[in-house]
Amino acid sequence: MEEIKSEIIVGLDIGTTKIVAIVGKKNEHGKIEILGMGKSDSIGVSRGVVSNIDKTVESIRIAVEQAELKSDVSIKVVNVGIAGQHIKSLQHRGIKVRNSIEDEISQGDIDMLIEDMYKLVMLPGEEIIHVLPQEYIVDNEQGIKDPIGMAGVRLEANFHIITGQVAAIKNIYKCVHKANLNVDELILEPLASSEAVLSMEEKEAGVALVDIGGGTTDIAIFQDGIIRHTAVIPFGGNAITEDIKDGCSIIKNQAESLKIKFGSALSSESKENEVAVIAGLRGRPPREISLKNLANIIQARMEEIIEHVYYEIKNSGFESKLICGIVVTGGGAQLKHITQLMEYVTGMDTRIGYPNEHLASNNLKEITSPMYATSVGLVIKGFEALNKNTANSAKTVEIASHSDGKKKGFFDKILDASHRFLEDSEK
């Protein structure tokens, strides 16, 4: 088994229903090649938040060991996704007054602005996860996307800031460390999913990503290529399973199986006389479940989730600007007629998002399922961070070499002046 290399990235999706580890590398065409994948049932996570450390650690180990076996890579560092109803977002403006109008605005100026945002005072028990620049203002000139290279004294930026509970964040780190792994990046799950299923054109035109997971439904709204709004709704596919369990008086495993095999988000698409037969428990006779009744149960809960989603879209203020409508992904996107119901409730165009936007064509077919959108997105975000760090390191080396030269000249002058002073005083 070979040691992990810097150009190999591992995404670890700690979900409510499953934990997935995906190992990926970039091929010569810049596409991502999946080397291996591991999956295990998630027992210690509830609604996107770790509720049992030991059970979560065990699930992580199983998923990672499977991924190591299939990829022949020793996994030490992972990019981890974070979700849960504790996630909040806010808007804030940062300002930096520069000393010189002669010097161009550099990446360093932007990094300092972002670093200042991380120093914002949060409510007790909250921590900043992401600081995402939206647009820049240079000397009152608004709407600038990339100010690097411009001249100006007053540099401002509008930021989208994502926060989470310190306890929930620490528990994720604790689980990963107990599984003998290190966290490279902690990434908000809807951001990861958006990288896997959305194109740049959709982000420019305006689009709402809806990731329906087991415990939560994550929303990310993009317009003009910029993330505008994020939200996490504390309902997902598990709520539908619970409704089926109660509505049909069956056990959870049977409810989940019925949902996957026969579930539909539109009751009007099911015929009255269609039934599914499930085995009876402990020698009891088999039971018949009406598919029309099943669809009614699913539709009722799904409509509630979509209404929450639509509220968040309207609340963002970008409803009229989302030309590309809604892209629905995650395990819940596999439900039959989900796009029709989404269009019916919101009146917006809807498509299912498959995580094949950046994947090489020779990957496992299973990976292109919407349920792996977050896992694939975590790998993509890992490569983004890797490229950014490499670029910043190169710039730092270049700046250091230039500044060393300047400092040397400056100190030489001081030394020359002091030598002259000493010579004069000796005379």
Is the pLDDT reported for residue 200 higher than 90? yes
| Cα–Cα dist 97/74, whole Å | 47
For residues 59-81, give the mean pLDDT.
94
Q: 207 - beta bridge partners? A: 222
Mean pLDDT for the stretch of residues 5-25:
89
| pLDDT value at residue 391 | 65
Write the DSSP assignment of 101-157 as a string of letters.
Answer: SSSPP-HHHHHHHHHHHTTSPPPTTEEEEEEEEEEEEETTEEEES--TT---SEEEE
Burial class (CB in 10 A: 0-12, 13-18, 19+), 205: middle
Show the domains of the chain with their CATH numbers: 88-166 (3.30.1490.110), 208-356 (3.30.420.40)
pLDDT for 256:
93
State residue 351's pLDDT score. 96
Average pLDDT over the chain reads 87
Q: Which of 45, 42, 44, 1 is nearest to 23 (CA)?
A: 1
pTM: 0.85
Q: Mean per-residue pLDDT for 99-128?
A: 90
Question: Can you read off the two tokens belonging to residue 15?
Answer: 């979900």
Q: What are the phi and psi torsion angles at 69 (to 5°)?
A: -60, -45
Residue 408 vs residue 362, higher pLDDT: 362
Q: What is the mean pLDDT of residues 243-268?
A: 92
- The model's pLDDT over 286-343, given as tens digits with 9 standing for 90+, comes to 888 999 999 999 999 999 999 999 999 999 999 999 999 999 999 999 999 999 999 9
CA separation for the pair 262, 294 (Å, rounded): 8
Check if the beta carbon of residue 318 is closer than 8 Å to that of residue 206: yes
Q: Give every CB contact of residue 294 below 8 A, 6+ residues apart in sequence.
A: 244, 248, 258, 259, 262, 263, 264, 270, 276
pLDDT single digits (tens) 122-152: 989 999 999 999 999 999 899 899 999 998 9
Query: How is 76-103 classified by DSSP, letter by letter?
Result: -EEEEEE-STT-EEEEEEEEEE-S-SSS
Distance from the first to the final alpha carbon of the chain = 75
Of the candidates 306, 294, 370, which has an alpha carbon nearest to the alpha carbon of residue 332? Answer: 370
Cα 5 to Cα 377: distance, rounded to the nearest angstrom = 19
Output the six-digit token pair for 102: 């002669």
Q: Give the count of beta carbons closer than 10 Å to the beta carbon of residue 33.
A: 16
Ranking 33-47, 234-248, 300-314, 361-375 by mean pLDDT, the lowest is 361-375
- Encoded tokens for 354: 């498959």
Residue 401 has pLDDT above 60, yes or no: no
Phi and psi based region of residue 283 (left: phi greater than 0; alpha: psi -120 to 50; beta: remaining): left
CB distance 198 to 356 below 8 Å:
no
The mean-pLDDT minimum among 189-193, 380-384, 420-424 falls in: 420-424
Give pLDDT, residue 162.
95
Confidence of residue 411 (pLDDT cuts 50, 70, 90): very low
Confidence of residue 356 (pLDDT cuts 50, 70, 90): confident
pLDDT band at 358 (very low <50, low <70, confident <90, very high): confident
Residue 360 pLDDT greater than 70, yes or no: yes
pLDDT > 80? residue 426: no
**What is the structure's pLDDT at 136?**
95
Q: pLDDT-derived band of residue 6, with 50, 70 and 90 as boundaries? A: very low
Nearest to 196 by CA among 37, 414, 384: 384
Write down how long the chain is: 427
Instruction: Note whether 205 and 318 are within 8 A (CB).
Output: no
Mean pLDDT is lowest, of 15-19, 156-160, 386-390, 400-404, for: 400-404
The pLDDT of residue 284: 82
Contact predicate 164/87, CB 8 Å = yes
- Cβ within 8 Å of residue 198, ≥6 positions away: 207, 209, 222, 327, 353, 357
Angle between helices 237-248 and 252-262 (to 10 degrees): 110
The CA-CA-CA angle for residues 339, 345, 351, to 5°, reads: 20
Q: What is the pLDDT of residue 399?
A: 46
In the block, which residue shows the tokens 């997902």? 236
Phi, psi of 38 (to 5 degrees): -125, 145
Pairwise CA distance, residues 402 & 412, whole Å: 16
Q: How confident is the model at residue 396 (pLDDT cuts 50, 70, 90)?
A: very low
